[in-house]
Structure 1
Amino acid sequence: MEAPSRRSLARALESLDDFADPSAELEQYLTPADLAAHVCHLAGLQGDLERLVVDLGTGTGMLAIAAALSGADSVVGIDVDRDALELARANAATLGSDRRLDRSIDWIRGDVTRHPFSGIEATVVSNPPFGAQRGNRHADRAFLETAREISTVSYTVHNEGSASFVESFAGDEGGDVTHAFRAELPIDRRFDFHTDRTETLAAEVFRIEWSA
C-alpha cells in the first residue's frame, strides 16, 4: 500500500481523541496531527520506517499510529499510564478500516527509563515531557538516553531553545543531529496553572543518527 501524503495523513490523524483527564505530572498533551504527519512523512522519506518503530511515551498513540499509516510494518507504543494506552488503542480502532493498524502496532505498558527492549536497532519517535513540572526537570533527557540505547535513528520533540542541549548530548553519545525544525504545539486550557484558554508552545524537533 502506498503511503499517504503528508496532508492526507494529517487529515486522518485529526480524528484521534485527546486525553479526557490528562495528568499534569506526566505532562500529557496531544501531539498535533500536522506535527505527527511531518515527523512520520520525513521518517518515510529517510527510509527510517523500514525497521521497528518505537514510540516512547506514546500517550494518545498519535506518533505510533502515524508511523503505521506511513508504512511502518512493525510499531510499538509504550507508556507508563494504563489509561493512555487504552486511549491509544481506541484511537487506533477509529482508523481500523486500515488493516495495517491491526497488524503493525503493539501497545506496551512500561516506564521508558526501565524499558523492556534489548538488542534492537529501532527508529524512535517521541514527544516526551519537556520537564516543565516541579520534580520532573529534564525529563526529556531520560527519553533521549533510552533513544540512544535502542535506536539507530530518533525523532524527538523538545522545548524551544533545546538545540544546544540536544546537540551536545548527541555529540557526547556518538550521535549526529541531521535535521532540526521548529514546531508549534497548541494547548487548550486544562490545568489550574493555565491562565489562557489556548496557549501555543514553541518547540523544536530533532532527527539524530546514532552510531553503533
Structure 2
Amino acid sequence: MGKRALERRLSAVSDFADPQVELEQYPTPADLAAHLVHLADVHHDIAGKTIFDLGTGTGMLALGAATRDPERVLGIDRDASAIEQAGENEHRVAPETPVEWVVGDVPRAPFCISKTSSSAPSRTVLMNPPFGAQTGNEHADRAFLETTAAIADVSYSIHNEGSMSFVEAFAEDAGGEVTHAFRAELPLSRQFAFQRRQKKVLDAEVFRIEW
C-alpha cells in the first residue's frame, strides 16, 4: 500500500470529540501521518518492530504504523476519552496489526521497557507531542523526548517551528543523533474559543532521531 492509499485509509480517523486545550489536543493530519509512516517504513523502522505512539490522541500515528507489519503497536495517552475514541477509529481503519491502547502519562513512562533488553524487537517511537505552548504545559515536548530517549532505538516526532537547535542539542546530550529533519504544515480548524480564525496553518518540523 502506497503513501496516498495510506492517507486515504487514515482519513477515516476522527478528530477529538471534546479537545482539551491544556493537553494541546490538536489532530495530526492524515497526509502528514501517512508521510511520516511511509518514511519510517522506507528506513525499515516499522516492520517487525515494537512501535510506540506517545500521546496518541485519537490514534492517527499508531493506526498508520499498524498497517505496516510491526511486531507490536502501543498507543499511549493520558486522556481516557481519547483512547476510547482511538479504539473506535481502529474499527474504521481496520489495520492488519491490532493496537494496544494504554491510558497513561507519557512523562511518567507507564510501561516497563528498557533499551538494555536485547531479546526484544527494536523499538520505534512515532509521536506528535504537545509543543508546550500553553501556560502550565511548558517544555512538554522535552518530557516526551526524555521518555523516548529511555525506550527507543529510533524516533520520529513533530515539533513546533524553530525547534531544530533544541532537538539536536537534546539528542546529543542523550547520546542520540538527528539523522533527518524536514518542515511540515499542520492545518488546524478552530476548536477553542480563544482561536479567532476558522482555520490556521501551523508551521512545524519533523525529526528522525537514532538513540
Q: Which amino acid aligns with 1:143?
A: F
- What is the distance in 2 between the residues matched to 1:108 and 1:162? 28
Q: Which residue of 2 aligns with 1:72?
A: 70
Partner of 2:196: 195
Give structure 1 stretches of 5+ with no counterpart. Answer: none
C-alpha distance in 1 between matches for 2:63 and 2:163: 26
1:70: Cα distance to partner?
A: 2.3
Q: Distance in 1 between matches of 2:16 and 2:56?
A: 12
Match of 1:39 among 36, 39, 57: 36
Q: Determine which of 100, 103, 112 is the counterpart of 2:106.
A: 112
Structure 1: distance between partners of 2:39 and 2:69: 12
Matched residues in 2 for 1:206 and 1:135: separation?
A: 25
Give the partner amino acid of 2:123: A
Count of paired positions = 203
Q: Write the mapping of 1:52-201 to structure 2, written as runs, cut at 5 A.
A: 52-96=50-94, 98=95, 100-101=96-97, 104-115=98-109, 116-120=111-115, 121-201=122-202
SS in 2 for 1:76: strand
- Normalized against structure 2, the TM-score is what? 0.93
Identical-pair percentage: 55
**Residues 117, 150 of structure 1: 8 Å contact kept:** no
Over residues 61-91 of structure 1, what are the superposed CA-to-partner deviations in whole Å (9 max), with x where a residue is unaligned?
Answer: 0000000112223100000000000010000
RMSD value, Cα = 1.0
CA contact (8 A) 1:128 1:156 kept: yes
Q: Distance in 2 between matches of 1:15 and 1:84?
A: 15
Structure 2, gaps ≥5 residues long: 116-121
For residues 85-133 of structure 1, the C-alpha deviation after alignment (integer angstroms, 9 at most, x for no partner) is: 001000001122x4x14xx310011011112132254100000000110
Task: Report the CA distance between 1:51 and its aligned residue.
Answer: 1.2
Q: Distance in 2 between matches of 1:73 and 1:95?
A: 18
Alpha-carbon distance in 2 for matches of 1:86, 1:71: 23
Maintained 8 Å contact 1:19/1:60 = yes
Q: Distance in 1 between matches of 2:73 and 2:112?
A: 13
Helix, strand or coil at the partner of 1:25: helix
Separation in 2 of the partners of 1:93 and 1:20? Answer: 17
Secondary structure of 1:207 counterpart: strand
In 1: Cα distance, 2:112 partner to 2:202 partner: 31
1:168-212 CA deviation, whole Å, 9 max, x = no partner? 1011111110111111111111112101010111000000001xx
Question: Shift of residue 145 of structure 1?
Answer: 0.5
Conservation of the 8 A alpha-carbon contact between 1:189 and 1:198: yes
Corresponding residue number in structure 2 for 1:15: 12
Tell me what 1:51 maps to: 49
Cα distance in 2 between the residues matched to 1:198 and 1:72: 35
Alpha-carbon distance between aligned partners in 1 of 2:123 and 2:185, rounded to the nearest angstrom: 26
SS at match of 1:161: coil
TM-score, with length taken from structure 1? 0.93
